[in-house]
Structure 1
């Protein structure tokens, strides 16, 4: 199951869980080794760009300057048309059908966070514009029906690049219109209102709440992107969707103005009912905690100004972090957990150290190592220099005395 290899592959995991959409197209690559500069040691085929982008975003927020090789690997994955695939081997030509909106969206956010990569960011945004569906949404791979996760991530990237999603449109349908396609409104049962479905049911168009779709789309609905600053605080809990009694109002889509609060209220209720975490429900399998969905829910609530409602989820993720991150060896999970801790203003030192250890030595660490060695070299060099000068003086003095004695013995010298 690809969700095990790629915890953040939103569209793919949701497609597998719901069984209503085909999985994304993926290049037939089996890299023998993990490339230099890439964070994590696992096979990057399905999550290379995803985990690298999250790692660089989290480290940039931690004021860690990553190695050139780490940044160069990510920029080197970008295709000429501006999009990113999940992963491609070095030297392999880009195939447009393997480029995906999820990888492109998180790569754009990472490069914005790092700074100094405006051309690559602009090309990435242009790719998102080009590959927006006519209904305003985005699919994982271009040419497929849109989904909430991919649309939410694209909107995150637009916000990060300071591009108004309301102005990014196809056939008169904006990115916000596309996001609204997947949100349950007043026609849904009260306890489902505000949630996001992955995609409408192909048979009848019904929307079924999905934990990961709700968590990831909520950050976009709240006007956010990675990294989440967590600087806005509201005293009240998120406002549940206010619904009128007439049928026309009930059938209307959730407006962008109400979207963030509505999904925030839904997520708050789900976290409270689930013991501070969201649950992964797979047909035929027992429900299990959904770490990724819980993390995105915490980020979204914090972004919307509701850190108190996110606090329980942050505590739960902190407690369960070693299990989720596999002891700090899973780069994508470790980076996501670090982003959550940063947004919640928790202690991040240990997570930063774990993530840093999963990739090439950062520039700051290299500079610090050089700085600690420099005084020793200078000191040794200074001692050597003075020693040579001293020996030279002794030799000179001794030679002068010998020459003086010889001249006394032989006046003709």
Structure 2
């Protein structure tokens, strides 16, 4: 379920490659340099103008799934980024100033914020305005593009589906010209034939051709299931994923077909690779984490075991350098598979995430989740105990369109 593009991604690309880099390809934060005066409520140590809403949303959602009550000022910083029309923006020239006509809002940042704020609770006004805005920019094919009016793509449509679900909506009932988000997703699904059988494309090319994209496939699987960034494992172990059927599949069938593609992609090495111009192939940690979530959500934790084990053994340095969004993605992967995020290959992901921002109000010392922060004058919070571990998504690199970066698993 990776993300982002536009000016933010372009600026990030100069500074990030591999581990410091494609904040988007590997799920790290794309800010090019540390800011001398960062907001007290912010997670991460780089300028929030490029990815503040995205990384803050993932950090708060990951904390929630791990049973951590975020600092009220962290929640307030996120809600303070909402524009008057209800949307959020990926890029803000000055994140401390109100939105103006020059601010380009986007569906991905808005949907991520909705998922985080809905999980925390007490933010109905903010999430309601955001969802209303998302509905207002739905395309005629039932999907969403990155920016309002842009052509629909798998990743944007999927993250919005997650936001609708988190806000208590039924995505299948959110229609534009009689088309639902699932209609749009199915239009990006490849048939069960050829080496890319079952994959999702980011979006059709100019000739209408669909090209398999692992990033988009991980997003599409979760979206087709009607789930969000913090998806949990399927109730039953579905066994090895297989691509089957002919003709236009149902959303569940498309999710199973997409999972089959992802399972093949990680079968050899346990990870996806990211191919960047002028660079050798390298592991794509962020999309591998997204793949863990997708495989577990569709077919159960056992289906995601191999890429999960690879992340446990290899992702520490990437997460440490990439920041809160990366830690959040690993937390999501742990959550989706029932793995303890406080002992992820010997690493306490929750403690590491907490250390990237303001100290939380409270934290469960072990597994657990609950309804967390309600910001406002009283910052009243009701926290219901429950045993959960944590899950997913983070961030995929794009210069002009997330899916235009071909990934070669």
TM-score of the aligned structures, taking structure 2 as reference length: 0.76
1:338 alignment counterpart = 331
Q: Is the 8 A contact 1:279 1:287 kept in 2?
A: yes
The alpha-carbon deviation at position 64 of structure 1 amounts to 0.9
CA distance in 1, matches of 2:209, 2:229: 30
The alpha-carbon deviation at position 239 of structure 1 amounts to 3.2
1:352 alignment counterpart = 350
Deviates more, 1:343-352 or 1:279-288: 279-288
CA distance in 2, matches of 1:95, 1:270: 43
2:319 alignment counterpart = 325
Q: Is the 8 A contact 1:113 1:227 kept in 2?
A: no
Alignment of 1:186-335 (within 5 A): 186=192, 189-202=193-206, 204-230=207-233, 232-243=235-246, 249=247, 253-273=248-268, 275-326=269-320, 330-335=323-328
CA distance in 2, matches of 1:257, 1:315: 26
Query: Unaligned regions of 5+ residues in structure 2, if any?
Result: 1-9, 343-347, 364-409
SS of residue matched to 2:358 = coil
Q: Is the 8 A contact 1:67 1:362 kept in 2?
A: yes
Alignment of 1:10-409 (within 5 A): 33-88=37-92, 89-95=95-101, 98-186=104-192, 189-202=193-206, 204-230=207-233, 232-243=235-246, 249=247, 253-273=248-268, 275-326=269-320, 330-349=323-342, 350-364=348-362
* Per-residue deviation, residues 354-381 of structure 1 (Å, max 9, x unmatched): 111111111127xxxxxxxxxxxxxxxx
Change (3 A) 1:5 1:107: farther
Query: Unaligned regions of 5+ residues in structure 1, if any?
Result: 15-25, 244-248, 366-413
CA distance in 2, matches of 1:119, 1:75: 10
Q: Is the 8 A contact 2:272 2:284 kept in 1?
A: yes
SS of residue matched to 1:359 = coil
* Per-residue deviation, residues 210-261 of structure 1 (Å, max 9, x unmatched): 1211112211112211322336222422231323xxxxx4xxx433231111
Change (3 A) 1:182 1:31: farther
TM-score of the aligned structures, taking structure 1 as reference length: 0.76
* Per-residue deviation, residues 88-126 of structure 1 (Å, max 9, x unmatched): 321232447611111011111101111111121111111
The alpha-carbon deviation at position 174 of structure 1 amounts to 1.0
CA distance in 2, matches of 1:307, 1:138: 30
CA distance in 2, matches of 1:49, 1:78: 9
CA distance in 1, matches of 2:67, 2:111: 22
CA distance in 2, matches of 1:78, 1:94: 11
Task: Figure out how many residues of one structure are paired with residues of the other and give that number.
Answer: 336
The alpha-carbon deviation at position 286 of structure 1 amounts to 2.1
SS of residue matched to 2:49 = coil
SS of residue matched to 2:328 = helix
CA distance in 2, matches of 1:219, 1:6: 27
The alpha-carbon deviation at position 325 of structure 1 amounts to 0.7
CA distance in 1, matches of 2:280, 2:168: 42
The higher-RCO structure (CA 8 Å, 6+ apart) is: 2
* Per-residue deviation, residues 58-105 of structure 1 (Å, max 9, x unmatched): 101111111110000011111111111014321232447611111011
Q: Is the 8 A contact 2:56 2:78 kept in 1?
A: yes
Q: Which runs of 4+ in 1 moved over 4 A?
A: 3-7
The alpha-carbon deviation at position 268 of structure 1 amounts to 0.7
Q: Is the 8 A contact 2:233 2:300 kept in 1?
A: no
CA distance in 1, matches of 2:320, 2:131: 34
CA distance in 2, matches of 1:200, 1:33: 42
